[in-house]
Structure 1
Amino acid sequence: MSSGRSNDRTVPVRRVGLFGGAFDPPHRAHRLLVESALDVLRLDRLHILPTGRAWHKARALSPAEHRLAMCELAFGDLGRVCVDRREIDRPGDSYTIDTLNELAREYPGAELFLIIGEDQLAAFRTWKRWPEVLDLARLVVAGRPGFPSPATRVSGDASDDPPVPHLRLPLPLSPISSTALRSMASAGAAPQELAALVPEAVAGYISTHSLYQQPS
């Protein structure tokens, strides 16, 4: 498969996905989500967007160039995927609405799909200019352990807001988390142990660059 960085811009692009995150590190559940989104949503292109300056993260992220390199290793072999560094290069805090506006200009007339996790859906109304996000893109939500879907939540709670309109991405819940992976690496896990949870090339990168050696 060709790398996402060499996509043919002469082919009409009608359906464009965005999948952002810290990717600190990207793991096999991220890879499964990307493969599923390409297939289920019939995307012509999917932008993987490592977070730049994350206003919502309490902890410091690993250096952006490491996270970008790991994304290239995790997803770069997938056709129709573009590892996109715009949020890393953007000065100041990075917001999804800015990225959506940019991509709407780059793909005039295309339908945009914003892929998020269940935890992000729960906090969606705290996002900057979230109604405009819904105007620009269709939300696509992947389940995450510990965050019940709207269909399983108890109804009648006075604190409930009307549900945010979204599509569901059907894929099995995975217990893999970047937090647990950082803890494993910090505890000295061997590359072969990490490779059970992250793509093998990512495991090698973590080991080579001694990432996550400090407690996270």
Structure 2
Amino acid sequence: MRIGMLGGTFDPVHNGHLRSAVEVREALGLDRLHLVLAPKPPLRDTPQVSATQRLALLKAGIGDTLGLLADDRELQRAGPSYSVDTLAELRQQYGNDVPLAMIIGFDAFLRLAKWDRAAQLFELSHLVVIARPGYYSPWPSALKELVGDREVDSVDILMQRPYGGMLMLELPSLMAISATYIRERLQAGKSVRYLLPEAVEQAIFQQGLYQSGE
């Protein structure tokens, strides 16, 4: 069995999130990919829509997509959402021998050395970074030191161990959709059709989320 974790505020979940999740699951050969909703990420502003509402949108967006799970475990905790705690729970759930990978975007990766207990992440899981084709930004020195010689160049090598490796992964259809852009369009009363799943769009309008006057 191979397990993945993809965290986010999903504010709101959109087709970029979901298509990336499907492609990551296929590329890594994951049996399950936990989409873990962060109620209040430590390094980001507090979302305007409640975690419970965002979780409902996430579930609506995933629908019956094979292998993707809307994970609410961080909603059960008080205080900020730390990935290392979530990985520890997943490791406890699945055991020490199952390959477990945390998937993050490149921008988040550049800030990794500032994360809470960052070094412990590699004691619990692999790190898979979604790379942007043609985009390069130098790694901060603290990040280079944190990663060390953990980087591998193939999924097969990564999955030979349950944790401790790092892989840069390019996805075939990386979509340039941002939740900020969607929120701005909703505030302005403009169409968001085809930016997010129809079920998510319907729920947003039925509940009056993200729109002016909220």
- The two structures have a TM-score, normalised by structure 2, of 0.83
- List alignment gaps of at least 5 residues for structure 2: 152-165
Aligned to 2:202: 204
Q: Are 1:121 and 2:101 matched, yes or no?
A: no
Q: Are 1:176 and 2:177 matched, yes or no?
A: yes
The equivalences for 1:155-170 within 5 A come to 161-162=144-145, 164=147, 165=151, 166-170=166-170
Aligned to 1:138: 126
Q: Which moved more, 1:131-140 or 1:51-60?
A: 51-60
Aligned to 1:86: 73
Q: 1:98 is matched by which residue type in structure 2?
A: D
1:74 positional shift: 1.1
Contact 2:187/2:211 (8 A) holds in 1? yes
Query: CA distance change for structure 1 residues 111 and 215 in 2, over 3 Å: closer, same or farther?
Result: farther
Aligned to 2:7: 20
Give distance in 2, aligned partners of 1:215 and 1:168: 42
Deviations 1:179-212 (A, max 9, x none): 00000001112xxx31210011111111111111
Q: Are 1:110 and 2:111 matched, yes or no?
A: no
Query: CA distance change for structure 1 residues 37 and 53 in 2, over 3 Å: closer, same or farther?
Result: same
Contact 1:29/1:174 (8 A) holds in 2? yes
1:169 positional shift: 2.5
Give distance in 1, aligned partners of 2:72 and 2:99: 21
Counting aligned pairs with the same residue, the percent is: 34
Give distance in 2, aligned partners of 1:104 and 1:188: 43
Let me know the Cα RMSD of the aligned residues.
2.4
Give distance in 2, aligned partners of 1:103 and 1:75: 20
Contact 2:6/2:36 (8 A) holds in 1? yes
Give distance in 2, aligned partners of 1:73 and 1:198: 11
Which segments of structure 1 move beyond 4 Å, counting only runs of 4 or more? 157-160
Aligned to 1:11: none
Aligned to 1:6: none
The equivalences for 1:5-84 within 5 A come to 14-84=1-71
Query: CA distance change for structure 1 residues 206 and 144 in 2, over 3 Å: closer, same or farther?
Result: farther
Q: Does the residue aligned with 1:49 lie in a helix, a strand or coil? A: strand
Q: Does the residue aligned with 1:212 lie in a helix, a strand or coil? A: coil
1:158 positional shift: 7.5
1:132 positional shift: 0.6
Query: CA distance change for structure 1 residues 98 and 35 in 2, over 3 Å: closer, same or farther?
Result: same
Contact 1:15/1:43 (8 A) holds in 2? yes
- List alignment gaps of at least 5 residues for structure 1: 1-13
Q: Does the residue aligned with 1:106 lie in a helix, a strand or coil? A: helix
Q: Does the residue aligned with 1:116 lie in a helix, a strand or coil? A: strand
Q: Which moved more, 1:136-145 or 1:75-84?
A: 136-145
How many residues in Structure 1 have an aligned counterpart in Structure 2? 195
1:98 positional shift: 0.4
- The two structures have a TM-score, normalised by structure 1, of 0.82
